Structure 1
Amino acid sequence: MSLSEWLVTKRNLPSKSTLRQRALEIPEGLWIKCDECGLLMYYKTLNNNAKVCPQCSHHFRTSSHDRIEQLVDKGSWQPVNSELASTDPLGFRDKKMYSKRLKDMKAKTGLSDAVQTGLGTLNQIPIALGVMDFRFMGGSMGSVVGEKLARLIEMATRLKRPVIILCASGGARMQEGMLSLMQMAKVSSALHKHQQKKLVYLPILTSPTTGGVTASFAMLGDLIIAEPKALIAFAGRRVIEQTIREDLPSNFQTSEYLFEHGFVDLIISRTELKRQLSIILSFYQYPQKNNDSVVY
């Protein structure tokens, strides 16, 4: 390239201020970058693939609304006990009052608490579904989370429906003290009565599933299913290492590690979850709705 040609090309290049302006003109939320492989993709592409990276299959965190849409047949979702909301029985305060924190979370997420419960159909199979939402105070299990799940399980027992709970939680909610720990026993007791009726319970462990949730209903399923590379634990890695005075494997507390050691029965990608769940439920001879008739 001659000097004159280079000068012409240089003159035609956009200035830094122009490039900054063009960057500002790109609509927010149009693109997203995968944290694992670095793939830059449209948000729409990611959403159409159930929030799973199409290149490396990294599972992005997603909301309870998205998960309900991914699993439940369109038009069949019926929320139950959606009006239940936490109070502040202990008058707890850390950096801010617990009552204020609850108010902020409700405004931010549009949820009354960290779980949505309801009835619906999955590929025409009637189910009772609970979906925890990590956006609401880390999916922590307080009194309302435990109450909503217990009521859902009791309703499923009466209706003879399988229960599916998608777990995503940092554990029991410290702002409610002993009241939050009591939910472990309450939900576990409801599940015991459900399983005594020979009804199926399937927990889906997503990232993260930790603390009191792992120590109770997350591990009480007929089949324990996890998403790929999900963090599943009771205590934190550092606490365990300091207690046993040993270094842990790099993949410790992942769904793959737990599968190898028999704590998890199946690892299923989110993109395949609905289809695989319908196959699993069909093994238990749950009827499908087909107009007004029942088909096995």
Structure 2
Amino acid sequence: MNWLTTFVRPKIRSLVGSKEVPENLWRKCPACDHMLFHKELEKSWQVCSHCGHHMRLPVRKRLELLFDGGTWTPIELPPIPQDPLKFKDLKRYSDRMKEAQAKTGEKEAIIVAHGWLMGIPVVVAAFDFSFMGGSMGMAVGEGLVAAAELAVLQRASLIVIPASGGARMQEGILSLMQMARTTVAVQRVKDAGLPYMVLLTDPTTGGVTASFAMLGDIAISEPGAVIGFAGARVIQNTIRETLPDGFQRAEYLRDHGMVDLVVNRADLKATLGRILSILLRRDPPAEVLALSLDADSGRSGTRATPPAGDVEEAARRDGQAEAHDEAEPEEDEA
């Protein structure tokens, strides 16, 4: 059936313009095998309309989803050595970097930007999994440190969105050092009394999970996201036991206390806006209140924006939000 790709697709492009027609007009949902039209997927932010499966969302589309008006201001990342160890396996590391840059159009596996989310000033550091698996090397570490410093400077909330396979092996110990650097950086945000939010997406694994990704004031995840340190197969072969169903998935971690909320992608912006309002002791924006009233959304396989009580309970759980509250005066002794 080569004629489908050699004739039909070019013919369609010649009629409507090459930029308007993607490489594949239809995409099969990996969860339910339903064929989805590309415009339907774009409208639903890459969420299957039949089973609710959340597919991976390109990093710039994710920023468009969260920032008000879909606009943000990116910051230039500090320059770092491209190949500090002169690493080579089947290919030179420098060649792999060039291939990733050509494939994604990005300089590195992270984008740092600042703007407004529901009227609240935020700095967002978002990972690009299509860039060498979103692996964390020196440049990604510098990006996260720069994001934390900018948040403190602007008195803005910091939101980090990991999508990573972990450390970047081509940079060796220099990559592993970023675990400590990023942990210290986000602690400075907390010390400044500013909210630090992490949105766990598929996948969040390796050294990313073992450092900044699990330190958010409230742990939020998208449905079905894989979250963990070592892979499930490695764990199972190590302990020689069968792992429970759903192991390392967002819902499993929520049920076992590692994740506070699992939120549908369409509801993420409203949920983040409400949580940030609570942590900052502000009245939620009108847009948040309006969206939160849609408790019976009826989305198949999805979860609507949690009620205010659920979000506030998560915000107060284990005293995570108390650091942002003013100390109450002690009562005089009788």
TM-score of the superposition, structure 1-length normalised? 0.87
SS state at 2:136 partner: coil
Q: Tell me the CA shift for residue 37 of structure 1.
A: 1.6
The aligned runs of 1:78-157 (5 Å cut-off) are 78-82=73-77, 84=79, 87-157=82-152
2: CA distance, partners of 1:252 / 1:196:
34
Task: Tell me, yes or no, if the aligned pair for 1:125 and 1:286 is still in contact at 8 Å.
Answer: no
2: CA distance, partners of 1:80 / 1:124:
20
Which residue does the alignment assign to 2:45?
50
Deviations for 1:164-209, whole angstroms, at most 9, x for unmatched residues? 0111000000000000011111110011111112211111111110
Q: Tell me the CA shift for residue 41 of structure 1.
A: 2.2
SS state at 1:207 partner: coil
SS state at 1:209 partner: coil
Gaps of 5+ in 2: 14-22, 286-334
Task: Tell me, yes or no, if the aligned pair for 1:228 and 1:267 is still in contact at 8 Å.
Answer: yes
SS state at 2:225 partner: coil
SS state at 1:283 partner: helix
For these two proteins, the number of residue pairs brought into alignment is 274
Question: 221, 226, 231: which is aligned to 1:231?
Answer: 226
2: CA distance, partners of 1:96 / 1:17:
32
Which residue does the alignment assign to 2:332?
none
2: CA distance, partners of 1:222 / 1:180:
25
Letter aligned with residue 233 of structure 2: R
1:273 aligns with 2:250: no
Deviations for 1:118-141, whole angstroms, at most 9, x for unmatched residues? 111112111010000000000000
Q: CA RMSD in A?
A: 2.2
- Relative to 1, partners in 2 of residues 1:193 and 1:19: Cα closer, same or farther, differing over 3 Å? closer
Q: Tell me the CA shift for residue 22 of structure 1.
A: 7.5
2: CA distance, partners of 1:194 / 1:237:
33
- Relative to 1, partners in 2 of residues 1:23 and 1:35: Cα closer, same or farther, differing over 3 Å? farther
2: CA distance, partners of 1:176 / 1:183:
11
2: CA distance, partners of 1:33 / 1:26:
20
Which residue does the alignment assign to 1:263?
258
Question: 150, 154, 163: which is aligned to 2:158?
Answer: 163
> What is the identity percentage for the equivalent residue pairs of Structure 1 and Structure 2?
47
Greater strand proportion: 1
In our comparison, the structure showing a higher alpha carbon Rg is 1
Letter aligned with residue 280 of structure 1: I
Q: Tell me the CA shift for residue 76 of structure 1.
A: 4.2
- Relative to 1, partners in 2 of residues 1:29 and 1:85: Cα closer, same or farther, differing over 3 Å? farther
2: CA distance, partners of 1:273 / 1:19:
38
Which residue does the alignment assign to 1:34?
29
